[in-house]
């Protein structure tokens, strides 16, 4: 009897101890979760594929990083390197923007996203560039690789050699597009290095990455990079996704003459990726003593966020009252939440350049009304000169051809 009671007491003690341990573990978990919410944006996103880095574009100094040197699949961030090679060829006069790019069966067979070009078709180098920076066209990437190296795999080898020369020591390319290949790898640090070199080595060509949309074969193709619309100061550069990588993003943003480059890899979805990038950049700007923008834009009904107005998603649909002016070349400065803000932007641009006529119009994109600021009534030379002058003042703009709403060039 005594033994039974003793056993009962021992069992109860062990149960109480076990229950106490479970309570302690639960409390520890709650504390850990609470502490995690207090951490800055370094907290994990997505899965074990996650990595990130933010650098100062001017000095290359690292401002924050998580797993920045771990190998990841770059997905369509690969196209940044493809474009670097194209921009080098343009600079060295091995290519011209209006040069025709032949389309092979291999290039045309690439899976979406794509421009849906067919074998035997030809398009210009500039059209290929715009296809890469807006919709991340895999067929256009392969066609450019073949143009420069004869075949895509040979081009990928050249990409790898050039990447290593730029200091991207842990990067290997196997194709021009970023389509799945187990051996195609890079790191967040290497991709930040590439973003920085694109900006430093090709400042004029870099502006292609802020192209809001372009027209190709009677289609208006919007830019997939939502940061151009939602993050104040963002002006490029590239999104990416394959199943093996998760959602990737490289973003550059300029505020108060401070430019940052951020890389996020391995997020669960595009929304999480973009929100996390915004937090990382906000923290880095704060660390650089850059004040938040003072202007306001309406992001959702009843909600006003700090920042500059979003960039237009697509070229404007011209109204009948301005068709005569629209038959000539124009410069679009941006899309704004209110008519007042758009008109002020157009007035400011007119004061800076003393060219064109001020024009503001409304448009609805994905159920959201914006107001577009433009300078209209110019010829080709005047429009290109106006946009170039604005770009030197760090004002993003696009040149529109006489065909209503057709993008000619981004600055």
Q: What is the SS3 string spanning the chain?
A: CHHHHHHHHHHHHHHHHHHHHHHHHHHHHHHHHHHHHHCCCCCCCCCCCCEEEEEECCCCCEEEEECCCCCECCHHHHHHHHHHHHHHHHHCCCCCCCCEEECCHHHHCCCCCCCCCCCCCEEEHHHHHHHHHHCCCHHHHHHHHHHHHCCHHHHHHHHHHHHHHCCCCCCECCCCCCCCCCCCEECHHHHHHHHHHHHHHCHHHHHHHHCCEEEECCEEEECCCCHHHHCCCEEEEEEEEECCCEEEEEEEEEECCEEEEEEEEEECCHHHHHHHHHHHHHHHHHHCCCCCCCCEEEEECCEEEECCCCCCCCCCCCCHHHHHHHCCEEEEEEEECCHHHHHHHHHHHHHHHCCCEEEEEEEEECCEEEEEEEEEEECHHHHHHHHHHHHHCCCCCEEECCCCCCEEEEC
Provide the 10 A C-beta neighbour count for residue 93: 7
For residues 325 and 320, give the distance between their C-alpha atoms in angstroms, rounded to a whole number: 10
Q: Select which of 65, 136, 177, 245 is catalytic.
A: 136
Our answer to whether residue 76 is catalytic in this structure is yes
Q: Select which of 76, 177, 245, 252 is catalytic.
A: 76
Cα–Cα–Cα angle for 147, 152, 157, nearest 5°? 110
Integer angstrom CA distances of residue 315 from 114, 370, 398, 409: 20, 12, 9, 12
Q: Select which of 51, 52, 79, 238 is catalytic.
A: 79
Our answer to whether residue 136 is catalytic in this structure is yes
Our answer to whether residue 362 is catalytic in this structure is no
Active site positions, annotated: 76, 79, 136
């Amino acid at each position: 009897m005594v033994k039974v009671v003793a056993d009962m007491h021992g069992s109860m003690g062990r149960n109480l101890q076990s229950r106490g341990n479970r309570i302690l573990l639960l409390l520890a978990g709650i504390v850990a979760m609470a502490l995690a919410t207090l951490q800055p944006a370094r907290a994990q996103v997505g899965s074990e594929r996650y990595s990130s880095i933010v650098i100062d574009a001017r000095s290359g100094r690292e401002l924050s990083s998580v797993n920045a040197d771990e190998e990841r699949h770059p997905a369509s961030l690969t196209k940044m390197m493809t474009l670097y090679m194209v921009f080098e060829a343009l600079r060295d006069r091995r290519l011209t923007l209006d040069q025709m790019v032949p389309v092979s069966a291999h290039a045309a067979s690439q899976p979406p996203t794509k421009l849906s070009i067919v074998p035997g078709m030809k398009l210009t180098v500039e059209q290929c560039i715009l296809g890469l920076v807006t919709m991340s066209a895999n067929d256009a990437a392969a066609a450019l690789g073949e143009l420069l190296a004869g075949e895509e795999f040979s081009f990928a080898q050249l990409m790898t050699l050039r990447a290593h020369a730029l200091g991207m020591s842990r990067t290997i390319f196997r194709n021009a597009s970023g389509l799945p290949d187990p051996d195609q790898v890079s790191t967040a640090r290497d991709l930040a290095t590439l973003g920085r070199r694109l900006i430093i080595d090709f400042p004029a060509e870099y502006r292609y990455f802020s192209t809001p949309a372009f027209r190709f074969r009677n289609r208006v193709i919007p830019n997939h990079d939502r940061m151009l619309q939602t993050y104040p100061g963002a002006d490029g550069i590239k999104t990416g996704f394959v199943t093996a990588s998760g959602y990737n993003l490289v973003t550059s943003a300029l505020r108060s003459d401070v430019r940052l480059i951020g890389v996020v890899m391995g997020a669960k979805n595009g929304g999480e990726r973009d929100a996390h990038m915004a937090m990382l950049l906000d923290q880095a700007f704060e660390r650089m003593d850059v004040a938040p923008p003072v202007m306001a834009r309406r992001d959702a009904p009843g909600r006003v966020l700090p920042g500059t107005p979003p960039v237009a998603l697509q070229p404007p649909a011209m109204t009948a009252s301005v068709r005569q002016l629209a038959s000539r070349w124009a410069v679009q400065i941006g899309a704004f939440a209110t008519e007042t803000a758009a008109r002020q932007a157009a007035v400011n641009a007119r004061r800076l350049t003393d060219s064109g006529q001020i024009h503001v119009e409304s448009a609805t994109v994905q159920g959201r009304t914006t107001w577009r600021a433009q300078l209209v009534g110019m010829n080709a030379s005047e429009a290109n000169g106006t946009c170039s002058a604005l770009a030197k003042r760090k004002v993003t703009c696009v040149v529109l051809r006489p065909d209503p709403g057709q993008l000619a060039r981004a600055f």
